[in-house]
Structure 1
Amino acid sequence: MSLDSQYFADLYATNEDPWAFRTRWYERRKRDLIMATLPRQCYERIFEPACANGELSALLAERSASLVCQDLDPTAVRLARERMAGVAHASVEQARLPGDWPGGSFDLIVLGEVGYYLDPTDWLQVIEQSVASLTYDGGLLACHWRHPIAGCPQDGREVHDLLSKHLPLYPVVRHEEADFLLEYWSCQPSVIDLDEPCL
């Protein structure tokens, strides 16, 4: 069973940055690695579910013409909207995976630190929806903590095993450390970007 909304409400009840995204060097460095992994300078439309308080979202906005962010928790949505204030091409919605999947297509989907909160059935649905939503040259990035998390139905390795098994995409980047795993897959075998930068 996937975790319910109360799990996240409890986290945000006493701390607006429960994972220390804003303050920990580990998190800042991981965001920098995520951004360096993206092979294209600019993406037309990015989807980031589970955006939390929007720290990664702010960086993704700099590399996109349109950014759709979602989070299950209303406090996280408020914080992400505050973080993204003034970024006209970004939206932050309250939504729950896998049911509240946005319409349209994306040339990048970022699944960061979200898979282990979902049971394998829901995670497989997210994988299927991701593939169906990617443009012909789109990419999918996933990054997850490798260690077990108390109360979560999966760990990061299980999450990435399912991605590797069920994504009909080309593997482009795999970066593995003691604490996290970062991977990027593409719909096309070549991801060289000859487009103009984002305006």
Structure 2
Amino acid sequence: MSFSHHDSSIREDTWVQAGVLDLPVVPDGTVTEGGSIIVLAAHPDDEALGAAALLSRADEWNCQVTVLLFSAGENSHPDSPTHSREQLKSMRIKEFDRALSTLSEAHSSRFLALPDGQLPEYTDQIQDAIRQEITRSLGPVTLIAPYSQDGHCDHEAVGASALDVGRSSHAVVLEYPIWFWHWAAPTDPRWHSWKVLPDPRDLDRKALLACYQSQTRPLSDHCGDEAILTSAHLEHFARGRDTFVITNFRSGSTDTGEDGKGLAINDACTASTVFDDVHQTRTDPWTVWESKYEIAKRETLVTHLPSRSFSHILEIGCSVGALTRDLVDCGTKVTAVDASCEALKTAQRLQLRVPTKVEFVHATVPFTWPEGHFDCVVLSETGFYLTRSQLQRTLERIDGSTPSRFVLVLCHWKGEIRDWPLNADEVHDVCLSHWTRYRTEFHTDAEYRLDIVTVDKDAEAQPERATR
């Protein structure tokens, strides 16, 4: 995503009309009482824009709060004729200290002094700093970070690091969007699954943001000293609430099936270990190469694809590569991902035909994602291993790596799924509600459910859902 703060910001009233004020509240228990909150900021003012309500409410949860500031934002005005980078660095650090004191005198902070605009090059240092802070923390940890798909390289580097460390540390991660509201359109489906945290009565956002005059007001009347945060952009942060993308890596996630019966034992966080164990015991756990049911299912899926000449197919959850082999004949390239290293070893060993057309990638979706732009995405027998929030994040990943029109293939067994969050219908219904405009190419619903749809992100017509 490429944007400039000079671009016209998406009008706040368009977001309001789209329903941004109607998002559900962050569920109780998301932040554990008596635990620790670690707020990550790429630049001074990130914490004030994205997490002001949370920082103001921390005392309600009796939480220890630390803010990690990774850069001083010294490149905010690269063409300023009146302020050097060192002057801006000093100014912005003082603004940060003043703003944090406005929120609470009890919150502590640590400045990492990494170079502004270059944080993607310092991922290891960022992750090490987060891990060190977690080690010092008391009780369960909640990480608060910029949105990992915010469109700003520094925000995305810090957000992605929070997800990586949160996953390995079994923490809850709350991502806050900042520039997303500036460049994204309300038709973007990602925000519909987000949650909000209302401001406490004593939070004065205007007074808080007034601490950051270097960003909200011109440095001078000279060209190059213009305000970074325009009044139109600041309107997005006058809603009286924080907005978060929530990913829960703690064991015992609260995601349940639609019937609300109990907690799922496993999800994407445990998938790698579970399926490595399964494939170490048996190289073909589901007899996909020999089962008449599996063979017929694959034939039905491939036969009803609307094209045999895709440029790049993404297969999520390839296991031992049976469907992968069939997909090779349907496109120029296939990227096949799986959470299990053991399954991929088998897949690579058995993939004898045109191996150059297939790239096997070890990745646990949605936490890691393969490179590429895909005009066909296949999610087969994998969606029920994800919690609802993990599935929503997967759909966001798909949306960000596909063109305006692409084919989505969903195929899942209809039997009872034990110890995992979702069933076939839940997976398909969540996926098909993510995009409002699509055409159904094929649908069948027997022992397994198969939906093949062409998603048209730019279409103005209402979805056509006729079945063939």
Instruction: Give 1 or 2: higher helix fraction.
Output: 2
**2:288 matched to which residue of 1?**
21
Equivalent residue for 1:61, pick from 307, 311, 328: 328
Structure 1 contact 107–135 (Cα < 8 Å) conserved = yes
Contact 1:174 1:181 in 2 (8 A): no
Answer with 4-13 or 23-32: which moved more: 4-13
Q: How does 1:22-171 map to 2 (within 5 A)?
A: 22-85=289-352, 86-171=354-439
CA contact (8 A) 1:169 1:185 kept: no
CA distance in structure 1 between the aligned counterparts of 2:414 and 2:400, rounded to whole angstroms: 27
- SS of alignment partner, residue 403 of structure 2: strand
The sequence identity of aligned pairs, in percent, is 28
Which of 251, 257, 274 aligns to 1:7? It is 274
Secondary structure of 2:308 counterpart = coil
Contact 2:334-2:359 at 8 Å conserved across structures: yes
TM-score by length of 2: 0.39
Q: Deviations over 1:27-63 (max 9, x none)?
A: 0000001101211121000111110000100111111
CA distance in 1, matches of 2:304, 2:402: 18
Q: Which has the larger radius of gyration?
A: 2
Cα distance in 2 for partners of 1:74, 1:180 equals 26
> Runs ≥4 in structure 1, deviation > 4 angstroms?
none
Deviation at 1:174, TM superposition (A): 4.1
Q: Secondary structure at the match of 2:375?
A: strand
**Which structure has the highest strand share of the two?**
1
State how far apart, in whole Å, the 2-side matches of 1:130 and 1:154 are.
Answer: 19
Q: TM-score, normalised by structure 1?
A: 0.89
- RMSD (Å) for aligned C-alpha atoms: 1.5
In the alignment, is the contact (CA less than 8 A) between 1:127 and 1:167 conserved in 2? no
1:120, CA displacement in angstroms?
A: 0.5
Structure 2: which amino acid aligns with 1:28? I
Between the two proteins, the alignment pairs up a number of residues equal to 189
Counterpart residue type for residue 182 of structure 1: L
Cα deviation digits, residues 118-151 of structure 1 (max 9, x gap): 0000001111211221123311101011122111
CA distance in 1, matches of 2:404, 2:432: 19
Give the Cα–Cα distance (whole angstroms) in 1 for the partners of residues 444 and 373 of structure 2: 29
Q: Which runs of 5+ in 2 are unaligned?
A: 1-252, 254-266, 460-468
What's 2:449 paired with? 181
**Contact in 2 for aligned 1:69/1:91 (Cα 8 Å):** yes
* Higher RCO (CA 8 Å, separation ≥ 6 residues): 1
